[in-house]
């Protein structure tokens, strides 16, 4: 079984600097900004559809909240803007064939810059984890196993992020390119936005 895994990063939205793994720092929330370079399609309907969790993404969404519940941590609430940021990051990773451990996308944006340009506002701190696998190691359960079992053995903090009671909202994104599946989960320290309604046909 082959798999790829990447580090997690926690950052402050303002000022827009990426901090080292494990840094939990408070900072002022940024003002609202228009969505910039964060659409999955130039077709507005297709872009909107991409924000809805498919069946596989929904399973990871549920597994994360079950893991938190099993450890006495309140569930996370979906946020549309975090969903957009996660989906865009996964699509970007799929296009280049790997999920970067420094979480800098192909436009050169670090986490705070990307999340702000994806419409994320009102948060003091955010976190992001990613994973990619292929063949038999690309399922939600494989991503969860890496984050909760394997990465802690290497001193990485994926498990800590998933169980952080200070994180309140999240977005899950998945993109597939060939036999590789790229997962990104973004987190925020406040409940923001609303869940999407019925998926447009």
Instruction: Assess contact for 146 and 131: CB atoms under 8 A.
Output: yes
Instruction: Assess contact for 10 and 104: CB atoms under 8 A.
Output: no
User: By mean pLDDT, which of 163-167, 173-177, 192-196 is the weakest?
Assistant: 192-196
Neighbours of 149 (CB within 10 A): 11
- Could you tell me the residue ranges of all domains in the chain? 44-188
Helix (H) or strand (E) holding 87: helix 80-96
What's phi and psi for 97, nearest 5 deg? 95, 0
pTM for the full predicted model: 0.79
Q: What is the pLDDT of residues 58-68, one digit of tens each?
A: 999 999 999 99
pLDDT of residue 42: 65
Residues 6 or more apart in contact with residue 182 via CB below 8 angstroms: 90, 91, 93, 94, 99, 130, 131, 132, 174, 175, 176
Q: What is the pLDDT of residues 70-115, one digit of tens each?
A: 999 999 999 988 999 999 999 899 888 888 888 888 888 898 899 9
CATH T-level topology, domain 44-188: Pathogenesis-related Protein p14a (3.40.33)
């Amino acid at each position: 079984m082959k798999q790829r895994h990447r580090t997690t990063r926690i950052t402050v939205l303002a000022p827009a600097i990426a901090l080292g793994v494990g840094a939990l720092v408070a900072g002022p929330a940024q003002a609202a900004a228009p969505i910039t370079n964060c659409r999955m399609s130039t077709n507005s309907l297709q872009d909107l559809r991409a924000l809805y969790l498919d069946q596989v993404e929904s399973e990871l969404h549920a597994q994360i909240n079950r893991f938190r519940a099993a450890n006495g941590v309140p569930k996370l609430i979906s946020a549309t803007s975090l969903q957009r940021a996660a989906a865009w990051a996964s699509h970007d990773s799929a296009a280049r064939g790997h999920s970067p451990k420094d979480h800098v996308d192909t436009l050169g944006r670090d986490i705070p810059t990307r999340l702000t340009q994806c419409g994320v506002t009102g948060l003091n701190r955010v976190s992001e984890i990613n994973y990619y696998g292929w063949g038999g190691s690309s399922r939600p359960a494989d991503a969860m196993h890496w984050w909760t079992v394997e990465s802690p053995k290497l001193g990485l903090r994926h498990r800590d992020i998933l169980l952080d009671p200070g994180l309140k909202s999240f977005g899950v994104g998945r993109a597939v390119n060939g036999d590789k599946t790229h997962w990104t989960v973004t987190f925020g320290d406040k409940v923001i936005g609303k869940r999407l309604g019925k998926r447009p046909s």
